[in-house]
Amino acid sequence: MEFLRSENTHFSREWELNIRGKLFTISTPQVMGIVNCTPDSFYASSQSSTIEKQQDLIDLHVKNGATWLDIGGYSSRPGAEHISEKAEIERIKPAVSYALERYPEIKISVDTFQSEVANYVLEQGVHLINDISGGLINSEIFSIVAKHQVPYVLMHMRGTPQTMAQLNTYDNLLKEVMVELGTQLEKARTAGVKDLIIDPGFGFAKNSTQNLDLFSYLEAFQLFDCPILVGISRKSLIYKTLGIDAEDSLNGTSVLNTLALDKGANILRVHDVKEAVEVVKLREKIKGRNYQF
């Protein structure tokens, strides 16, 4: 008897990203380590508001196998306080400088939706802009990314971090998220952005039930024909579902990261790099093995 194993085909191809004229290949799932330079976060242990803590976290992420570092200075938790572009730059400047100088082999992303911040970090040599608003808050960011010839993470969100929690009413969740992402994707391409990565935006303008529903539909985002980034690390869809808190959500994160890879995710954005790298390694060892009986 022969048992056939169906395989997700999303990794049957290699993704090539143009980073300042040089091709960067994604041939297997990659891990992006979060470097939170804010004084607050939904996950308190991820806060690294001092330069020393930021450098230690960057060192740890690289040691544990991160391909990407995602540095952010604007808290995007629901209801977070707005800060100016100047203040955001001051928060992230030391971490960006340290990561670029210490680890030239690592790809550096900056998590921002403010165009002045994006322009500053790209002039420093950053390789990727990760925009939680998908260009909705400041569409000028598209032309800035295009000018520097770097990839861009286009995430689904409604409103701002201050208002998004009240903007989670959908008649058809998947359809509306896909349409809204598609609209912004076309705007980005029209502005000259060549290499886009899609992020469904778990936790942004979606409640816990909607997050779980959207996660179950993750395969649908392959229709955009772009790499898919999934950021569910320690989020409420895990801890509210399990009746725990973010501090105890590592196991749940690993479970959903594994499922995300099976559903076509190409990049896992996480607080805990070591565990995510282990998920990727084990899955890569197991997938594709066929047994003959």
Active site residues: 235, 269
User: For the CA atoms of 253, 71, 14, 260, what is the dihedral angle to 10 degrees?
Assistant: 10
Please state the length of the chain: 293
Q: Residue 177 is inside which H or E element, if any?
A: helix 173-190
User: For helices 173-190 and 208-216, what crossing angle results, to 10°?
Assistant: 70
Angle between helices 115-124 and 85-102 (to 10 degrees): 20
Nearest to 120 by CA among 86, 78, 158, 79: 86
Please name the residues in contact with 55: beta carbons below 8 A apart, sequence gap of 6 or more: 94, 95, 98
How many Cβ atoms sit within 10 Å of the Cβ of residue 94?
16
**How far is Cα 72 from Cα 96, in angstroms, rounded to an integer?**
9
